[in-house]
Amino acid sequence: MKIVLIYVTVAVVGAAVLGTSMWISKARKERFRVKEVALAVGKDEPKVKLTLENDLQAVNQDGEEVKLSDLEDKVWLAAQFFASCPQCAKRNYEDLSKIYDEFGGEDGFHMVCITVDPEYDTVERLGEYSGALNADSENWWFLTGDRDTVRRYLVDEMKFLEMEERTDPQEAAEKGKYRHDLGLELYGPGMRLLKKVDLAYARTQTQADYNFAFGELQRRIREALEETR
């Protein structure tokens, strides 16, 4: 009986350890799910992800009413942001500015940054922000509008990830009031989504990861522009 009890005890403990190990493994995979997706950046992917069926009307940094459909025949890069977000500032200055410097002179290219915090990001504030980036409203819009309409469009139409307000004061001070999607979406003529890439995340990996992701975005923009000629 003692021997039987020992084997039973070992079997129960072993099963518990195996179960715990499987749970931890599953939890780790879920925790690092975004990393796994990011590591797949650059693999073969469909050229067209989705097509925007509905339009968004908003106001740019000059106080002019514009619509995304105004860009229907262009190649354009879209990002969501808010002016007080330190992560957006880093991405916009270090990533979007480089893209703008390279492609801003192309007639068929445009860039769009849409605020998720319209109540704070007034036209005046967006004017100051775009001025600091030397962004010309002719080819780089900073847009604001009705908060609920804008947020719903970003998620439902453009398929950006849901935004949520940070509750940890220290985290909010370091990373911004809102946790939101820092990815960049590249659209082509016909409002077709051609590519999405998260350079902000790639930057947190290795320099090689960032260089590769940035190079892939540059390549796809060149291809899209060539297709419009």
Q: Report yes or no: 15 and 179 within 8 Å, Cβ to Cβ.
A: no
* Section 44-61 average pLDDT: 81
Partners of 122 in the β-ladder: none
Least confident of 1-5, 15-19, 187-191: 15-19
* Section 77-96 average pLDDT: 90
Q: Report yes or no: 145 and 57 within 8 Å, Cβ to Cβ.
A: yes
Q: What pLDDT does 1 receive?
A: 54
Same domain flag for 203 and 96: yes
Least confident of 121-135, 157-171, 181-195: 157-171
Query: How many whole angstroms separate alpha carbon 3 and alpha carbon 25?
Result: 33
Q: What is the CATH number of the domain that holds 164?
A: 3.40.30.10
Same domain flag for 77 and 183: yes
Same domain flag for 13 and 114: no
Q: What are phi and psi of 186, to 5 degrees?
A: -105, 125
Same domain flag for 21 and 123: no
Residue 118: inside a domain, yes or no? yes
Q: Is the pLDDT of residue 27 over 70?
A: no
Same domain flag for 93 and 174: yes
Q: What pLDDT does 48 receive?
A: 52
> Tell me: the pLDDT tens digits for 72-81?
999 999 999 9
Query: pTM value?
Result: 0.77
Same domain flag for 93 and 142: yes
Same domain flag for 70 and 100: yes
Query: How many whole angstroms separate alpha carbon 68 and alpha carbon 175?
Result: 28
- The 8-class DSSP code of residue 144 comes to B
Residue 133: inside a domain, yes or no? yes
52 Cβ contact partners less than 8 Å away, ≥ 6 residues apart:
68, 157, 158, 187, 191, 193
Q: What pLDDT does 44 receive?
A: 44
* Section 135-148 average pLDDT: 96
**CA angle, residues 96, 99, 105, in degrees to nearest 5:** 125
Same domain flag for 26 and 59: no
- Indicate the pLDDT class of residue 151, thresholds 50, 70 and 90: very high
Residue 38: inside a domain, yes or no? no
Same domain flag for 10 and 120: no
Closest to 108 (Cα-Cα) out of 217, 220, 221, 192: 221
Q: Is the pLDDT of residue 95 over 50?
A: yes
- The 8-class DSSP code of residue 202 comes to H
Q: Is the pLDDT of residue 145 over 70?
A: yes
The domain total for the chain is 2
Q: Domain residues for 19? A: 2-31
User: Which percentage of the chain shows pLDDT scores above 90?
Assistant: 62
Question: Number of C-alpha atoms within 13 angstroms, CB side, residue 176?
Answer: 20
Residue 36: inside a domain, yes or no? no
Residue 60: inside a domain, yes or no? yes
Label residue 150 exposed, middle or buried (CB < 10 Å: 0-12, 13-18, 19+): buried
Same domain flag for 27 and 88: no
Q: What pLDDT does 66 receive?
A: 97
Same domain flag for 60 and 18: no
Q: Is the pLDDT of residue 116 over 70?
A: yes
Least confident of 108-112, 142-146, 166-170, 220-224: 166-170
Label residue 115 exposed, middle or buried (CB < 10 Å: 0-12, 13-18, 19+): buried
Closest to 112 (Cα-Cα) out of 185, 162, 193: 185
Residue 139: inside a domain, yes or no? yes
Same domain flag for 155 and 188: yes
